[in-house]
A and B are shown apart, each in its own frame.
Chain A
Amino acid sequence: MIRRKLSIILENKPGALVRVVGLFHQRGYNIESLHVDPVIELKKYKYVEDNLNIKIAEGEVSHLKITTTVNDNLLRQILRQINKLIDVLMAEEIK
């Protein structure tokens, strides 16, 4: 079991954050730390725009950082489950 940092970009709207956080509990994963901010500095997030071929406006999405302790297989499953949420644009591990 290794400590992992996840980076999640999601729509900044009511109810979006709780879907991600709720999923951890529903699927039996634990959250060790959590931090969320609206995305203001758009330059840093050009990779999201390029990856999804979209344009993001200031404050329109949030960046959620979660630390959790899981093995490799479970990590892949967590990321796929998070990515499946309708309000999530991208979820990946920060190496």
Chain B
Amino acid sequence: MKLAGNDILIQSLLKEGVEYIFGYPGGAALHIYDAIFNQKKLQHILVRHEQGATHAADGYARATGKPGVVLVTSGPGATNAITGIATAFMDSIPMVVISGQVAKHLIGTDAFQETDMIGISRPIVKHSFTVESAQKIPEIVKQAFHIATSGRPGPVVIDVPKDTTAPDKLFDFSYPSKVKIRSYNPPVNPKSSQIERAVEAILESEKPVIYAGGGAINSNASKELFLLNEILDFPVTNTLMGLGVYPATHERFLGMLGMHGTYQANMSMHNADLIIAIGARFDDRITNTPKLFAPNAKIIHLDVDYSSVSKIIEANIAVFGQVKNSLSEIIKLLNKKRDLVDNKKIKPWKEQISEWKDLHGLNHQMYLNESDNKSIMPQAVVQHTYNITNGRAFITSDVGQHQMFAAQYYHFDEPRKWINSGGLGTMGFGLPAAIGVKLAYPKEEVVCITGEGSIQMCIQELSTCTQYNLPIKIININNEALGMVKQWQDMIYGGRHSESTYQSSLPNFIELAESYGHVGIRIEKNSELKSGLEKAFSLKDKLVFVDVYVDPDEHVYPMLVAPNGSLKDMWLDKDNKT
């Protein structure tokens, strides 16, 4: 079959099973856009800003586990995509970004819309390619998808000079069936010696905690983690990125740990004699001061990335491989040693954890039935959303207080349901991410829990939702301020709210949503909260923007004391520290 470069690119994407491509056209990408026009299988989603394209592809990838695909033009198209690429990189999300580039003979001449995309994106991609000729496209696409999805996943950029996709030069097209990159061999299966040492430490422990993160979700290891813990009966905590990998409503679940983690999760980690880290990377929001982290714990670290292990916290036992496979091997060996598993040994430890939970655990019913004399509490908004959606919705979020309240109060029982920018902390992520999720799962409830600060960073995507008829539910927890910034200013900067409020400049979100053809609901009283949310979710075929005015002074707690604090040092409310 003879094809031009632009068709070769699209056919290669189809061979990879791509169903959606999120993008925005422009000069250097127009040959590729012409090839998209001439076929029906690959659906292009036209966003309103390239940042939206990357976040939508990212949301699609997080929800499905399949790589998200983005197409942007050169210059500003490429630079606008950068924030979304960095977001995916920090959270290890598989993504392939195709950027148009000026024709090869113009590179280096400061041509119109020329920018060094490979150079600009280098620190925030897993790898990148420049297409030198149309014949190379199939091999590059094959390699790009392989790199993006294997090992520790991540974004890959393919920079495509315009002349390599010219429609008037035809080449033989065949797509490679296999890929081998000799310098890239991520670990798959763990060494048996590592498994033996891990099991030995597990059997010895009296105060164990399982600490699972986003890597366990990337590796689809949720089932293995559950089965392992049916044997061990250990307490489990999840990172912000790991929520859902172990069922949140399970009695063994301690809640999230870290900066805004639960009291019992942080206390358990601090006092543990064994921490089993599964696809988690001891990020600074988890460890607090690394030198003071879990002073008596032995660390078993399961990870696919060599460079993540012993980076911040030294691991006593490192298990390299896909964590799904490593967990399976641990289960196999434990099954052989079943008579050595003594669940009674950890009983005092579990009683201790139970006491911690009773002492300062989150009260999940606290704000549900407040009177109209009081402001709506942001926690109640999440609690009602949880109840109305039966805990089964996909929740995307932006960044700030609303994100933490969502993480604390929406109990995720399944992986890939909680979609948020944990590593980079990108405001503006939630709405476009919800677009990607809703396209992947049109029949499922998709909710964007956001704030009035974050939503305005990609609010233009309301128009995309109109074009593709995407009935997402947006819940805007509106405290009329950049809440998390304000919280830090309250706690650390003597209440000086430097540039964290908008002085009555907020738009009327209801009219704004309506102008795009959506439905807007404003909620200002506690008595309207439940019914207002129920009404929003009853409008199945409409995007509903629910603007909820909440207590502007509420803070997120617990909160780790920093600097120089450990995991046991927490603010429990505005006046009390541990």
Q: Residues on A close to B: CB < 8 A?
A: 10-11, 14-15, 18-19, 22, 26, 52, 54, 73, 76-77, 80-81, 83-84, 86-89
CB nearest neighbor in B for A61: B183
Closest 5 CB pairs of A and B: A80-B307, A86-B127, A89-B183, A80-B306, A26-B123
Q: Are B183 and A22 in contact (CB under 8 A)?
A: no
Q: Which of A15, A22, A81 contacts B130 (CB 8 A)?
A: A15
- The verdict on B37 contacting chain A, using a C-beta distance below 8 Å, is no
Q: Are B122 and A19 in contact (CB under 8 A)?
A: yes
Q: Are A76 and B310 in contact (CB under 8 A)?
A: yes
Q: Size class of B's contact patch?
A: 10 to 19
Neighbouring A residues of B119 by C-beta, 8 Å: 18
What string of 1s and 0s marks CB contacts (under 8 Å) between B181-196 and chain A? 1111000000000000
Q: Which of B123, B127, B310 contacts A22 (CB 8 A)?
A: B123
Neighbouring B residues of A87 by C-beta, 8 Å: 183
Interface pairs (28), CB distance under 8 Å? A11-B183, A14-B130, A15-B118, A18-B119, A18-B122, A19-B122, A22-B123, A26-B123, A52-B183, A73-B310, A76-B310, A77-B307, A77-B310, A77-B311, A81-B307, A83-B306, A84-B306, A84-B307, A86-B126, A86-B127, A86-B147, A86-B181, A86-B183, A86-B184, A87-B183, A88-B183, A89-B182, A89-B183
Contact count A vs B, C-beta below 8 Å: 38
Neighbouring A residues of B147 by C-beta, 8 Å: 86
A9 vs B68: C-alpha distance when bound (angstroms): 32
CB nearest neighbor in B for A53: B182
CB distance from B140 to the nearest CB of A (A): 12
Neighbouring B residues of A73 by C-beta, 8 Å: 310
- The verdict on B414 contacting chain A, using a C-beta distance below 8 Å, is no
CB distance from B85 to the nearest CB of A (A): 15
A11 vs B183: C-alpha distance when bound (angstroms): 8
CB distance from B530 to the nearest CB of A (A): 49
A19 vs B126: C-alpha distance when bound (angstroms): 11
CB nearest neighbor in A for B151: A84
- The verdict on B305 contacting chain A, using a C-beta distance below 8 Å, is yes
Q: Are B123 and A84 in contact (CB under 8 A)?
A: no
Q: Which of A14, A15, A54, A80 contacts B182 (CB 8 A)?
A: A54
Neighbouring B residues of A86 by C-beta, 8 Å: 126-127, 147, 181, 183-184
A81 vs B306: C-alpha distance when bound (angstroms): 8
Further pairs besides A15-B128, A87-B183: 4, Cβ < 8 Å: A18-B122, A19-B122, A52-B182, A83-B307
Neighbouring B residues of A83 by C-beta, 8 Å: 306-307
Q: For B127, B147, B182, which residue has the most chain A Cβ atoms within 10 angstroms?
A: B182
A77 vs B282: C-alpha distance when bound (angstroms): 15
A11 vs B128: C-alpha distance when bound (angstroms): 14
CB nearest neighbor in B for A84: B307
CB distance from A18 to the nearest CB of B (A): 7
What string of 1s and 0s marks CB contacts (under 8 Å) between B296-326 and chain A? 0000000001110011000000000000000
A84 vs B150: C-alpha distance when bound (angstroms): 13
A28 vs B118: C-alpha distance when bound (angstroms): 21
Neighbouring A residues of B184 by C-beta, 8 Å: 86
CB distance from B236 to the nearest CB of A (A): 28
CB distance from B164 to the nearest CB of A (A): 15
CB nearest neighbor in A for B181: A86
A69 vs B130: C-alpha distance when bound (angstroms): 34
CB nearest neighbor in B for A77: B311
Neighbouring A residues of B183 by C-beta, 8 Å: 10-11, 52, 86-89
Neighbouring A residues of B128 by C-beta, 8 Å: 15
Neighbouring B residues of A84 by C-beta, 8 Å: 305-307
CB distance from A60 to the nearest CB of B (A): 10
CB nearest neighbor in A for B182: A54
Neighbouring B residues of A80 by C-beta, 8 Å: 306-307
Neighbouring B residues of A19 by C-beta, 8 Å: 122
